[in-house]
Chains A and B, each alone.
Chain A
């Protein structure tokens, strides 16, 4: 059974810092890995999708990497801003296209 783990569970940093969120998964037979953000009381917003054959994806200040063989992904956020405060979730897609989620990292950026 696939298990997805995110470390740390919570992170608080001052504005302007670069930071890394970690995600690991136990079964490397995945189709892709996605990073989402969730704001309080809201649904999920997709940030980046990395196909299983890819190593990384970039969008603005966000960069996500994937090492499928070791079962790891990182989300790098450059020059963090207070608006980046949210819960970040990683999820892997397995058979029948269902997503298996980690528990999330709650990020707080302090002005």
Chain B
């Protein structure tokens, strides 16, 4: 079946603009995660959804970052007033959410964000 998909694959924007990144998880997966991969910081957790609820938003770096998930499926990560330090690859993952000990997270190809 289809894996996790993300769009766009690349996004170049100017400092101060807002951007939206989209994630389509594997069909039937109730858990969805956003991570950020940057050169200096490695891979960092941003936010986790179970269904449409976000029980853990602890990784969002500032209030400029927000995310939502609708219909228990598609998720959108929004970055307002982008800064150059937001430049990174944003990765989305999903899992079945049925067992914390056994849940494998499946990753999408990522969106490379460049803020000029």
Contact = CB atoms under 8 A, between A and B. Distances in A.
B101 A43 contact: no
Contact of A97 (B44, B100, B110): B100
Contacts of B45: 98-100
A43 B91 contact: yes
Contacts of B95: 97
Given A89-B43, A98-B59, A99-B45, A51 B102 contact: yes
Interface residues of A, number: 26
A42 interface: yes
A107 interface: no
B104 A43 contact: no
Contact of A31 (B33, B93, B101): B101
Contact of B107 (A44, A51, A95): A44
**A44, A49, A52: which has the most chain B beta carbons within 10 Å?**
A44
Contact of A34 (B56, B105, B108): B105
B18 interface: no
Interface in A21-74: 31-32, 34, 36, 42-46, 49, 51-53
B107 A43 contact: yes
Given A34-B104, A43-B107, A51-B101, A98 B91 contact: no
B106 A46 contact: yes
A81 interface: no
B31 A97 contact: yes
Interface of A: 31-32, 34, 36, 42-46, 49, 51-53, 89, 91, 93, 95-104
Interface of B: 4, 31, 33, 35, 42-45, 48, 55-56, 58-59, 91, 93, 95, 97, 100-110
